[in-house]
């Protein structure tokens, strides 16, 4: 089989019957020729035999029946003539009487003449009426000369024809005593009618010829048919001459002396008579039958030839049609074969015994063969195996199905290819309409699908990064571990791991390092097996483990051992990374009788472990459940609260240290629950971030804060900058830029009066997206500040890169500034650092005069804290500005106020607001 696309064109097929036809024709010709020759020869032989018989019979009748008796009569009379008859007796009456008596006794002739040696008739018996006597001859002199000449040749009889009178004159010599010279002649005439009648009886055909001739002269005595010219002396030909003189009998073909027509002659010399009889048959006559037969044979042959030719033409046309049909079939088969090869899908045809009768290139390739012929005639079953690896009776199933006219489909068949590899295939089979009992099979290699399925199956139950089982598989293993524990009288525990500080590693060193750390953690936890029955990864930096322990002491040993496993840092190249786990522990059945409950319990215990300072473990307790429930309740109610406008914004003023003016305010979210009262943002904002509610809430905060700033401006409070906290979730998952822009557009606030408070964790990731967001925010014209600076990474590289305008020192450093030296040093360092980057520093949480003084001393730029004011409702904010502090922000052009904010403006502590604020 070839994969070339040259379809065979229809050609003129060779004539397979040509040789046969030629051979048959040649045989026919040879047979015909043989037949013609043989029949000719036979006809000729037969004719010759007949001719000889005819001439013999004629001779016999002539000789014995007609002429010889006359001669005998003449001889007898010649002998009986008295010796003296010629001398004198002829005058004697007695002699005449005697001669008349003799004439009467003649058996044949009824008269005779006696001639003397001069040729004179000296006696005549009674002449016949119808026959003229010798002297009445047309040329008596001639006859007499012949008589005389015959004496020299001692002829016994002289015969002379009288063609005019249609008689023959016969004369025998009469010798005297000396016998040397005839004394006279006894002559008679014989009517030729009898001979003519005899000749006429013979069947010599239309063109036959009978000649009675004189032996020596060749003169024609009688001819049948009659001579055309009775007076003419016909010449003799050489051959004729020979046989005339030979005196022999024989056969010859020669031209007639009369009409020059060639005939087959039988010539015979009559015994005792100087006559030659020639019976000639014209080839036209004697071959007429042969010619008719020949003609018939030729005609038959011609008919045969034509019939054979017609048949062979018909056969040829049929053959040519067959040929062309075969060619067309082969051509279409080649085309089909080409198409089937081009399809690239393995296709097979099997017969009713399950043998492969066709296979395309793709089919051969699937089995590992280059050539489809390698598979032809092989039983398809010999390649297939069932699921146990035994030979598969595939063909039986296929043939059984298609035999009923049904379509066969097997999704999990497999065969062994030429390399001995098991190849899973999907088999479809259809009845073969061309071949009643066979089937057409299509195979599809499903190795990749199988691998994908196995991969998917693996992924469904495994974590792709670490290869550990995932939470689902752990769920399935849960029952087994619990059963084992029950059987052994042990307790089953579920451990929930979370890595401390992993986020920092991930953010600072990148995800690749983070992934390697996660794999190392997986490896370390796995190495705890079999003490840990199952280790699974939940996602992110969270892992789960199931274990069986005899008692609480052994459980503690196990937990300590796990923590011990993480004492040594994780090495990533030369980098040492401290990775420790926090572990939440939940026990079966105390903390939950099913997997899900136990998982929640372990999760809550993990929170507790984290809260307990990390790198430790915590057991679940009922209180934890309450915390979790509260978080869930908050998440549920927050949505409703947001829709019911239970959320409001408070504003905490911020003061410029140098001018003492309120230059800005921080917008802070408040939730006044109708039943529970005020709920702290530190509680509901993480809950909102957890459930995604933070994004719509943040959007609302931006919009509300911008509107408020514009309202204040209209109310104459001047250009107060509004600081708004950005959620990390909003920054990473939402469209912060669009939301900020929408808030600015809707409110008409000058972007320069909006300050976004970002956290270090948002910027620490130097991804393209972060850079893009910051660039877009700066392009909007808003200000950026870093909130809670000092609590996180304190990496200053991003400060430079993102060109933030302010750093906000976390209140944990500000509070107790005057009592804790460390905080003092940190605050000073931050202020100096920020100033070296040309950034302003804002200190939050200023609660005392001491803190205020120190911050002034350290040249902090802006201050915020309860010492000045708690966060205020918008109206309170205006009243605060106008009434209590009497410090109105001045337009930019207004000269700066005296520096000593505290003394100059006699600041009073604002009355503490209710706890809810």
CB 640 to ligand C2E: min, Å: 19
CB 681 to ligand C2E: min, Å: 4
CB 815 to ligand C2E: min, Å: 7
C-alpha 40/C-alpha 295 separation (Å) is 12
CB 697 to ligand C2E: min, Å: 7
Nearest in space to 694 (alpha carbons), one of 658, 662, 720, 732? 732
Q: Which of 790, 865, 874, 889 binds ligand C2E (CB under 6 A)?
A: 865
**Nearer CB in complex with ligand C2E: 200/711:** 711
Show contacts of 250-254: CB within 8 Å, 24+ apart.
251/48, 251/51, 251/52
- The two most distant CA atoms of the chain are separated, in Å, by 233
Tell me the window of 294-302, 414-422, 472-480, 665-673 that interacts with ligand C2E (CB under 6 A).
665-673
Helix, strand or coil for residue 621? coil
**Nearer CB in complex with ligand C2E: 199/866:** 866
Other CB atoms within a 10 A radius of the CB of residue 445 amount to: 17
CB 801 to ligand C2E: min, Å: 23
Q: In 3-state terms, the chain is what percent helix, strand and coil (to 5)?
A: 45, 20, 30
The DSSP element (H or E) to which 347 belongs, if any, is strand 347-350
CB 761 to ligand C2E: min, Å: 12
Binding map of ligand C2E across residues 800-829, x = CB under 6 A, - = no contact: -----------x------------------
Contact 602, 584 (CB under 8 A): yes
Looking at residues 213 to 242 of the shown chain, list those that interact with ligand C2E (rule: CB under 6 A).
none
Contact 589, 556 (CB under 8 A): no
CB 726 to ligand C2E: min, Å: 6
Give exposure, 679-706, as e/b (b: 16+ Cβ within 10 Å). Answer: bebeebbebbbeeebbbbbbbbbbbbbb
**Nearer CB in complex with ligand C2E: 680/733:** 680
Distances (CA, A) of 622 to 448, 482, 526, 631: 50, 22, 30, 15
**Nearer CB in complex with ligand C2E: 620/866:** 866
CB 670 to ligand C2E: min, Å: 7
CB 630 to ligand C2E: min, Å: 17
Nearest in space to 394 (alpha carbons), one of 434, 439, 357, 360? 439
Identify the sign of the CA torsion 62, 65, 70, 72. Answer: positive
507 forms part of the interface with ligand C2E (CB under 6 A): no
Distances (CA, A) of 626 to 279, 601, 633: 158, 11, 10
What are the E-state strand segments in 529-676? 532-539, 542-549, 570-572, 575-577, 580-588, 617-619, 647-656, 662-673
**Nearer CB in complex with ligand C2E: 25/794:** 794
**Nearer CB in complex with ligand C2E: 119/845:** 845
Looking at residues 828 to 857 of the shown chain, list those that interact with ligand C2E (rule: CB under 6 A).
844-847
CB 647 to ligand C2E: min, Å: 9
Looking at residues 637 to 656 of the shown chain, list those that interact with ligand C2E (rule: CB under 6 A).
652
Q: Which two tokens stand for residue 160?
A: 């002379």
**Nearer CB in complex with ligand C2E: 499/705:** 705
CB 845 to ligand C2E: min, Å: 4
Contact 660, 897 (CB under 8 A): yes
Other CB atoms within a 10 A radius of the CB of residue 707 amount to: 18
The DSSP element (H or E) to which 453 belongs, if any, is helix 447-461
Looking at residues 691 to 730 of the shown chain, list those that interact with ligand C2E (rule: CB under 6 A).
701, 725, 727
Which DSSP state fits 858?
T
Which residue in the block uniquely carries the two structure tokens 């890595």? Answer: 499
**Nearer CB in complex with ligand C2E: 52/812:** 812
Other CB atoms within a 10 A radius of the CB of residue 546 amount to: 26
Q: Which of 501, 681, 696, 816 binds ligand C2E (CB under 6 A)?
A: 681
Tell me the window of 100-108, 580-588, 861-869, 874-882 that interacts with ligand C2E (CB under 6 A).
861-869
127 forms part of the interface with ligand C2E (CB under 6 A): no
C-alpha 628/C-alpha 623 separation (Å) is 9
Tell me the window of 295-303, 576-584, 678-686, 740-748 that interacts with ligand C2E (CB under 6 A).
678-686
Contact 667, 651 (CB under 8 A): yes
685 forms part of the interface with ligand C2E (CB under 6 A): yes
With 0-12 / 13-18 / 19 or more C-beta atoms within 10 angstroms meaning exposed / middle / buried, residue 179 is exposed
CB 849 to ligand C2E: min, Å: 13
682 forms part of the interface with ligand C2E (CB under 6 A): yes
**Nearer CB in complex with ligand C2E: 58/831:** 831
Q: Which two tokens stand for residue 273?
A: 């008579």
CB 814 to ligand C2E: min, Å: 8
**Nearer CB in complex with ligand C2E: 438/723:** 723
What would the 3-class secondary structure string for 520-551 be? HHHHHHHCCCCCEEEEEEEECCEEEEEEEECC
C-alpha 239/C-alpha 247 separation (Å) is 13
CB 682 to ligand C2E: min, Å: 5
Q: Which of 363, 514, 581, 871 binds ligand C2E (CB under 6 A)?
A: 871
Phi, psi angles (nearest 5°) of residue 347: -130, 135
**Nearer CB in complex with ligand C2E: 348/671:** 671
**Nearer CB in complex with ligand C2E: 637/844:** 844
Which residue in the block uniquely carries the two structure tokens 């010539």? Answer: 267
**Nearer CB in complex with ligand C2E: 169/730:** 730
Q: Which two tokens stand for residue 403?
A: 């035999």
With 0-12 / 13-18 / 19 or more C-beta atoms within 10 angstroms meaning exposed / middle / buried, residue 623 is exposed
Binding map of ligand C2E across residues 725-764, x = CB under 6 A, - = no contact: x-x-------------------------------------
C-alpha 305/C-alpha 302 separation (Å) is 5
787 forms part of the interface with ligand C2E (CB under 6 A): yes
Size of the site for ligand C2E (CB under 6 A): 22
CB 740 to ligand C2E: min, Å: 13
CB 729 to ligand C2E: min, Å: 9
Tell me the window of 164-172, 539-547, 581-589, 667-675 that interacts with ligand C2E (CB under 6 A).
667-675
Looking at residues 78 to 107 of the shown chain, list those that interact with ligand C2E (rule: CB under 6 A).
none
**Nearer CB in complex with ligand C2E: 363/871:** 871
Question: Which residues of the shown chain bind ligand C2E in the complex (CB under 6 A)?
Answer: 652, 667-669, 680-682, 685, 701, 725, 727, 787-788, 811, 844-847, 864-866, 871
């Amino acid at each position: 089989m070839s994969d070339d696309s040259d379809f065979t064109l229809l050609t003129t097929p060779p004539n397979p019957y040509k040789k046969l036809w030629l051979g048959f024709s040649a045989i026919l010709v040879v047979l015909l020729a043989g037949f013609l020759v043989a029949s000719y020869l036979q006809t000729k032989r037969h004719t010759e035999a007949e001719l000889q018989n005819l001439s013999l019979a004629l001779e016999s009748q002539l000789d014995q029946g007609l002429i010889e008796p006359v001669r005998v009569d003449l001889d007898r009379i010649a002998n009986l003539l008295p010796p003296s008859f010629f001398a004198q007796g002829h005058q004697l009456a007695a002699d005449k009487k005697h001669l008349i008596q003799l004439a009467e006794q003649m058996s044949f002739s009824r008269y005779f003449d006696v001639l003397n040696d001069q040729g004179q008739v000296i006696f005549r018996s009674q002449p016949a009426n119808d026959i003229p006597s010798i002297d009445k001859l047309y040329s008596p002199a001639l006859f007499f000369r012949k008589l005389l000449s015959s004496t020299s040749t001692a002829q016994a009889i002289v015969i002379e024809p009288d063609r005019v009178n249609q008689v023959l004159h016969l004369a025998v010599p009469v010798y005297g005593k000396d016998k040397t010279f005839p004394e006279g002649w006894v002559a008679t005439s014989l009517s030729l009618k009898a001979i003519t009648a005899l000749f006429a009886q013979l069947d010599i055909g239309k063109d036959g010829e009978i000649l009675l001739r004189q032996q020596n002269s060749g003169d024609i005595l009688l001819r049948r048919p009659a001579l055309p010219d009775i007076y003419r002396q016909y010449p003799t030909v050489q051959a004729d001459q020979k046989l005339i003189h030979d005196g022999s009998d024989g056969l010859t073909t020669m031209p007639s002396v009369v009409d020059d027509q060639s005939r087959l002659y039988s010539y015979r010399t009559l015994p005792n008579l100087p006559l030659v009889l020639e019976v000639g048959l014209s080839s036209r006559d004697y071959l007429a039958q042969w010619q008719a037969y020949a003609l018939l044979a030729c005609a038959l042959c011609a008919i045969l030839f034509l019939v054979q030719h017609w048949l062979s033409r018909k056969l040829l046309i049929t053959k040519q049609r067959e040929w062309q049909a075969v060619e067309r079939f082969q051509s279409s088969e080649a085309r089909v074969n080409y198409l089937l090869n081009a399809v690239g899908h393995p296709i097979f045809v099997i017969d009713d015994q399950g043998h492969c009768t066709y296979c395309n290139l793709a089919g051969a390739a699937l089995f590992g063969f280059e050539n489809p012929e390698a598979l032809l005639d092989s039983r398809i079953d010999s390649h297939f195996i069932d699921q146990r690896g035994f030979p598969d009776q595939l063909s039986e199933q296929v043939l059984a199905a298609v035999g009923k006219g049904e379509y066969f489909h097997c999704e999990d068949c497999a065969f062994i290819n030429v390399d001995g590899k098991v190849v899973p295939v999907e088999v479809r089979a259809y009845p073969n309409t061309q071949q009643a009992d066979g089937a057409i099979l299509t195979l599809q290699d499903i190795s990749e699908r199988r691998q994908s399925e196995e991969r998917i199956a693996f992924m469904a139950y495994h974590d792709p990064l670490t290869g550990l089982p995932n939470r689902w598989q752990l769920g399935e293993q849960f029952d087994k571990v619990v059963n084992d524990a029950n059987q052994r009288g042990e307790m089953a525990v579920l451990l929930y791991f979370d890595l401390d500080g992993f986020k920092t590693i991930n953010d600072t060193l990148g995800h690749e390092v983070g992934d390697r750390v996660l794999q190392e953690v997986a490896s370390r936890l796995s190495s705890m097996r079999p003490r840990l029955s199952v280790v699974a990864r939940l996602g992110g930096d969270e892992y789960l483990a199931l274990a069986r322990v005899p008692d609480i002491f052994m459980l503690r040993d196990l937990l300590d051992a796990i923590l011990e496993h993480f004492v040594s840092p994780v090495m990533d190249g030369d980098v040492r990374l401290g990775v420790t786990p926090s572990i939440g522990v939940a026990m079966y059945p105390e903390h939950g009788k099913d997997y899900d409950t136990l998982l929640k319990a372990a999760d809550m215990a993990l929170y507790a472990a984290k809260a307990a300072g990390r790198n430790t473990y915590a057991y679940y307790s009922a209180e934890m459940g309450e915390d979790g429930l509260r978080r869930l309740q908050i998440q549920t109610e927050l949505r409703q609260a947001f829709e019911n406008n239970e959320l409001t914004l408070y504003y905490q003023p911020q003061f410029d240290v140098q001018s003492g003016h309120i230059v800005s305010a921080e917008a802070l979210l408040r939730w006044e629950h109708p039943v529970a009262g005020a709920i702290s943002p530190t509680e509901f904002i993480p809950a909102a971030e957890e459930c995604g509610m933070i994004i719509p809430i943040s959007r609302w905060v931006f919009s509300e804060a911008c509107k408020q700033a514009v309202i204040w401006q209209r109310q104459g409070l001047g250009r107060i900058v509004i600081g708004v906290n950005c959620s990390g979730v909003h920054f990473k998952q939402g469209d912060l830029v669009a939301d900020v822009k929408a808030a600015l557009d809707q409110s008409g606030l000058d972007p320069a009066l909006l300050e976004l408070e970002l956290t270090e964790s948002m910027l620490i990731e130097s991804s393209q997206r972060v850079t893009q967001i910051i660039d877009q925010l700066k392009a909007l014209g808003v200000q950026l500040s870093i909130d809670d600076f000092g609590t996180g990474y304190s990496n200053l590289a991003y400060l430079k890169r993102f060109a933030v305008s302010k750093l906000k020192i976390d209140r944990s450093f500000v509070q107790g500034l005057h009592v804790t030296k460390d905080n003092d040093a940190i605050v000073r360092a931050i202020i100096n650092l920020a100033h070296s980057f040309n950034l302003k520093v804002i200190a939050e949480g200023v609660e005392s005069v001491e803190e205020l003084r120190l911050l002034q001393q350290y040249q902090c730029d802006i201050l915020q804290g309860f010492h000045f004011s708690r966060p205020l409702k918008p109206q309170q904010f205006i009243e605060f500005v106008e009434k209590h502090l009497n410090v109105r922000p001045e337009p930019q052009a207004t000269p700066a106020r005296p520096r000593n904010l505290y003394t100059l403006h006699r600041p009073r502590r604002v009355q503490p607001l209710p706890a809810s604020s």
